[in-house]
Structure 1
Amino acid sequence: MHKPLYCLIFFAALELSGGFSPCTAHAELTIASPFTDYAVLQRDLLVPVWGTADAGTTVTVEFAGQEKTVIADDDDQWIVELAPMAASSEPRKLAVNGSDGSSVQCNDVVVGEVWICSGQSNMQMGYGGVPEIKALVPSMENLRSFTVVNTVAFTEQDSCKGEWVRQQPNSAVAFAFAYFLEQAADVPVGIIQASWGSSSIEGWMPRDMTKKLPHFDKRMEEFDADKKALARIQSLLDGPKPWDRNSDIFLRTRPNILYNAVMHPLVPYACRGLVWYQGEANTKSVADMLQYGETLPAWIQRYREEWGRADLHFLVVMLPGYAKGLNNEAESPSAKSWAWMRESQLNALELPHISVANTIDLGHATNIHPSDKLPVGKRLALLAAHDVLGMEVEARGPVMTRVEKQGKNLVVHFDHAEGLLTTDGKSPSAFWIADDSAKWVKANAEIKGSTVVLNSPDLNKPLYVRYAFAGKPGVNLVNAAGLPAYPFRSDTFKP
């Protein structure tokens, strides 16, 4: 059994009746909260279905011709696994029956691709203010969504509020991703939306990650010691809702407690993977951004442990261009900018089953919530189609493979560089080169086949390259598919 489940309604009724304590209470037959009418089940994978029932009750789960039986354990828990199923848009009934005559059922359940979309405000941001995504609504097919109601908890919760609906998710990025994935795969797509603005990655961490990450251990120690903040959290949980803006921001910027209430109840719901658009809250300093390079892979591995799936795929959205506070250094390769966060995000590629959507050509210099979300969703869908579903599509822009020194020139070799060109017909921009002095100068750049040749009259012995390594670089290098080159640096200089 993966974890205990508690029936809040049952316990509330129990308290009113003055009856047994929860330790001796009987459990009614329930199915876990992510299962409701209109649910989407993941195709081609084992599908766990779980819930509660009186200990010793025989529970039978029926769906699509399958029948699985289990006996509820001494903790009143039960779980079965449905065998892998092909995608189907046929609405069918998921029925759960107990030997005591109790029953639960979910109607109009389909099978397709399921993804959790999580992160902070740029994932939560709705599509209503993005006309090109809003225009997709009339042509939407086979999309369903489940939005987890945002709240917090001091301990890991086993249920959440939310329900599946037969419509697109409200998130601009999640909707665009689901739309183009459905177009490519031609199967139902289900999106579980679990995101909250201003949240750091630490907000989405299980507490036990303190054992692996010292900075998180310190943060949780400070959290536990702040009695005033703990009391405020409890007061907000007990008080009226919705919370005012200040209270909402206070809650969503705490560590761990978002994971407990919003993400943990979803485990181990079968899904293909998780789309992660987060990072802005972890850019307060270069040290924070460098730490993210260690934190993100550790967090991914911990989630894979939680789901029991080493192949749980993660689609990471690279932070786009942003240069607020950089004054005249928006394109500087040595400024303390989001370039360091993007490098940390790309560190996740050292793990298998990871894709990073390149957004270096997107964003807004001073608006941390840019509206150009359509290409983000498209690129995520391309990565999912190629990396997960094995489709023959180009899903990446040019990726640097090596830098070769040729006299006064540096030659940058790329993969995914078929038809290498610039969007404006000019020479490639955003390339900077340096020697051992670490003084960066703009490079003259020329495309030759699948390479870019760099030089500068200011350097006789160039050694290193930084490309698009800036807050808001002006980039124009793409491949024939129109996908932008990934930012990189070949040096090892410290920030």
Structure 2
Amino acid sequence: MNKSMRIGNLQAVVTVMMLAVTVLTPCPAVTRADDQIQALELGSPFVDNAILQRDMPVPVWGWARPGSKVSVTLGAQTQTAAADVRGSWRVKLDPLKASLKERELKVTTPAGESVTCTGVLVGEVWFASGQSNMDWTAGKSMCRDLANTMQRSKEDIPVREYNADMGSSLFPCERVTSEQGWKKADQAGSFSALSLAFAWDLYQTLKVPIGIVRSTHGATPIETWTPYEGYATHARLQDIAFRIRQSDPSTQDSTQAYNTFFEDLKQWQLESEKIINQGGNALPRPTLPGIADDWKGAARMYNFKIA
């Protein structure tokens, strides 16, 4: 990991990882002014014990009722924004100096909604991503001694990790989840081993809080980490780009592909029924369009999780 990987804009995490969905539960309580309308909500990295990037503008984003005014306060600084027609809002805090002092990040609306994140520090924020080598936890690696030392320390070592929940999506998602939110050093054994070793060395050198934003997914091929544009603009990858478009319900390619598929399916049913009635075997079933056919398991059925 090198300096160029440092991110000041945590929103890059949401788009780069191409994973996950919705908002964190560990974040503090949300007070609703009206249960029938959209409640104030923060982007998932903004929860208790978060670390913000020092020495550059810090974006804070989330969702609220369309048109509502949102105020974000950290220390003596307050920034405001209005939620757009989709309910999205975003402010930028002025550059902050590194600080070991825990502060509150408070977000409010005139309707009385309020979200407060406690224990917020300012320092270095780095993005750690990749496959199983980055996902391997410190407690099960050669970093276990370091993790144990940090966990037993009487000092509150300001090294923390935010671990995005594992997931997948054809396209970048606005929301991610993290079951544990920002973990402190007393949970170092569950940190990524590589990111913990890096963060510890960085902390020893800089003596400022170190935050790791971790997004990992083991056993994934490079294609799954490639944005759609990477296929669409490469002459030899047009077939993959086309198959992705066929699987995107918002495209004409998808509409045409599925209409064709269902017409073929109807014809297959009629022809197979005739053959079976005569004692024969059914014809091969038409394949689903796009990459959808790849999602079927050995039993030629869909495998997925229903939440």
With the shorter chain as reference, the TM-score category is 0.5 to 0.7
Q: CA 1:92/1:121 → structure 2, altered by over 3 Å: closer, same or farther?
A: same
* Cα deviation, residue 8, structure 1: 7.6
**1:159 correspondence with 2:175:** yes
Q: CA 1:214/1:121 → structure 2, altered by over 3 Å: closer, same or farther?
A: farther
8 A Cα contact 1:41 1:111, kept in partner:
yes
- Alpha-carbon distance in 2 for matches of 1:143, 1:152: 28
- Alpha-carbon distance in 2 for matches of 1:42, 1:200: 31
Identify the residue that residue 127 of structure 2 maps to in structure 1.
116
* Cα deviation, residue 220, structure 1: 3.8
Identify the residue that residue 222 of structure 2 maps to in structure 1.
201
**1:90 correspondence with 2:101:** yes
8 A Cα contact 1:38 1:106, kept in partner:
yes
Higher relative contact order (CA 8 A, sep 6+): 2
SS in 2 for 1:35: coil
* Cα deviation, residue 111, structure 1: 0.6
SS in 1 for 2:294: helix
SS in 1 for 2:139: coil
8 A Cα contact 2:131 2:219, kept in partner:
yes
Identify the residue that residue 191 of structure 1 maps to in structure 2.
212
Q: How does 1:351-362 map to 2 (within 5 A)?
A: none
8 A Cα contact 1:47 1:83, kept in partner:
yes
Q: CA 1:197/1:62 → structure 2, altered by over 3 Å: closer, same or farther?
A: same
- Alpha-carbon distance in 2 for matches of 1:116, 1:55: 31
Q: Percent identity?
A: 31
SS in 2 for 1:136: helix
Equivalent residue letter for 2:86: D
**1:136 correspondence with 2:146:** yes
* Cα deviation, residue 135, structure 1: 1.4
**1:226 correspondence with 2:291:** yes
- Alpha-carbon distance in 2 for matches of 1:143, 1:84: 21
Equivalent residue letter for 2:200: Y
Equivalent residue letter for 2:197: A
For this pair of structures, how many residues does the alignment match? 222
Q: CA 1:217/1:142 → structure 2, altered by over 3 Å: closer, same or farther?
A: farther
SS in 2 for 1:135: helix
Q: How does 1:29-108 map to 2 (within 5 A)?
A: 29-108=40-119
Q: CA 1:44/1:219 → structure 2, altered by over 3 Å: closer, same or farther?
A: same
Equivalent residue letter for 1:112: G
SS in 1 for 2:215: strand
- Alpha-carbon distance in 1 for matches of 2:198, 2:22: 34
Equivalent residue letter for 1:218: D
Structure 2 residue ranges without an equivalent (≥5): 1-10, 16-20, 25-35, 151-156, 248-289
SS in 2 for 1:92: strand
- Alpha-carbon distance in 2 for matches of 1:216, 1:95: 46
Equivalent residue letter for 1:238: K
Identify the residue that residue 28 of structure 2 maps to in structure 1.
none
Identify the residue that residue 273 of structure 2 maps to in structure 1.
none
**1:150 correspondence with 2:215:** no
The C-alpha deviation readout for 1:81-117, integer Å capped at 9, x for no partner, is 0011111111111100011111111110101111110
Identify the residue that residue 283 of structure 1 maps to in structure 2.
none
8 A Cα contact 2:139 2:147, kept in partner:
no
RMSD (Å), alpha carbons: 2.8
Equivalent residue letter for 1:88: S
- Alpha-carbon distance in 2 for matches of 1:108, 1:65: 16
* Cα deviation, residue 138, structure 1: 4.6
- Alpha-carbon distance in 1 for matches of 2:23, 2:176: 10
* Cα deviation, residue 198, structure 1: 2.1
The C-alpha deviation readout for 1:139-176, integer Å capped at 9, x for no partner, is 44211001111011233211111111113352211111
Q: CA 1:149/1:236 → structure 2, altered by over 3 Å: closer, same or farther?
A: farther
Q: CA 1:234/1:144 → structure 2, altered by over 3 Å: closer, same or farther?
A: farther
The C-alpha deviation readout for 1:370-412, integer Å capped at 9, x for no partner, is xxxxxxxxxxxxxxxxxxxxxxxxxxxxxxxxxxxxxxxxxxx
SS in 2 for 1:238: coil
Q: CA 1:157/1:27 → structure 2, altered by over 3 Å: closer, same or farther?
A: same
Q: CA 1:80/1:142 → structure 2, altered by over 3 Å: closer, same or farther?
A: same
8 A Cα contact 1:92 1:110, kept in partner:
yes
- Alpha-carbon distance in 2 for matches of 1:175, 1:50: 27
8 A Cα contact 1:7 1:27, kept in partner:
no
- Alpha-carbon distance in 2 for matches of 1:108, 1:234: 47
* Cα deviation, residue 70, structure 1: 1.2
SS in 2 for 1:128: helix
- Alpha-carbon distance in 2 for matches of 1:236, 1:95: 41
Equivalent residue letter for 2:172: E
The C-alpha deviation readout for 1:451-486, integer Å capped at 9, x for no partner, is xxxxxxxxxxxxxxxxxxxxxxxxxxxxxxxxxxxx
Identify the residue that residue 235 of structure 2 maps to in structure 1.
214
TM-score by length of 2: 0.65
- Alpha-carbon distance in 1 for matches of 2:59, 2:200: 26
Deviates more, 1:155-164 or 1:75-84: 155-164
